[in-house]
Amino acid sequence: MRYELFYWPTIQGRGEFVRLALEEAAAPYVDVARSKAGMKRMQAILDDPRLARPPFAPPFLKAGRMLVAQTANILLFIGERHGLAPRDCAGRLFVHQLQLTLADLVAEVHDAHHPIASSLYYEDQRREARRRTGHLLDERVPKFLRYCERVLAATPRARWIAGARLSYADLSLFQVVAGLSYAYPRAMQRLAPRHPRVMDVAARVAARPRVAAYLASPRRIAFNEDGIFRHYRALDL
């Protein structure tokens, strides 16, 4: 079976967490909206009033007749099917907990350049964005990174954030570090040395053969100023 991933075709965004998991799992998939007439198909699903289990928004994943939406929920599904999460209940829930925690940070990063409304341009909320990003980089990003560092430090012999085996939470941690480093290079230069274990996990994810091949391929969309992690010089403190 080939998965169909539905997500905005020109950004990494939230879809990137799903792409990374599918790539690491070597699971066959089509990135539908990047193919011809793909956007139309995505919109048709979003608008179909007869759908019993519709998605609220992209990303969503079609697996046979199943349609699964919400990034963390898609990863819960893929993680179980492709060995990207522990099999035992406690381990499986902890990986999901880490994913939801990273998702909270991702939402905060988005809101830092759109503190008033997603429907307005960044240019229409620039002053508020500067204020909010100050708090994000002074308080929130350090708190999230410190938390991940603490989890890694608590089980020193574990290679990955949730134990001996790589999970989708490691892939997502890599993506968050990559995004923060793109958006806030100056802030991250200051923060990285204080979180050596986090940086090490991110580097080891990037070096995994399938991830490395993906990152070097045209399937990896470059970071840009339409996505969640945006580089605006004025915001990088």
* Candidate residues 10, 40, 44, 117; the one interacting with a second copy per rule CB under 8 A: 117
In this chain, which stretch among 150-158, 172-180, 187-195, 224-232 interacts with a second copy, using CB under 8 A? 150-158
User: Between 135 and 219, whose beta carbon lies closer to a second copy?
Assistant: 135
User: Between 111 and 236, whose beta carbon lies closer to a second copy?
Assistant: 111
In this chain, which stretch among 18-26, 143-151, 166-174, 216-224 interacts with a second copy, using CB under 8 A? 143-151
Strand partners, 168: none
User: Between 70 and 122, whose beta carbon lies closer to a second copy?
Assistant: 70
Q: What is the chain's length?
A: 237
Q: Which two tokens stand for residue 21?
A: 């998991």
Instruction: Report d(CA 171, CA 197) in Å as an integer.
Output: 14
Sheet of strand 60-63: strand arrangement: 29-31, 3-6, 60-63, 66-69
- Cβ atoms of 113 and 133 within 8 Å: the answer is yes
User: Between 13 and 211, whose beta carbon lies closer to a second copy?
Assistant: 13
* Candidate residues 56, 121, 157, 193; the one interacting with a second copy per rule CB under 8 A: 56
User: Between 128 and 236, whose beta carbon lies closer to a second copy?
Assistant: 128
Size of the site for a second copy (CB under 8 A): 44
Q: How many other C-beta atoms are found inside a 10 Å radius of the C-beta of residue 174?
A: 23
Instruction: Report d(CA 103, CA 128) in Å as an integer.
Output: 22
Q: Any contact of residue 164 with a second copy (CB under 8 A)?
A: no
189-194 own/partner pairs: CB under 8 Å, 24+ apart:
191/141, 191/142, 191/145, 194/145, 194/149
Binding site for a second copy (CB under 8 A): 49-56, 66, 68-70, 72-73, 76-77, 89-90, 93-94, 96-97, 100-101, 104, 107, 111, 115-117, 119-120, 128, 131-132, 135, 139, 144, 147, 150-151, 153-155
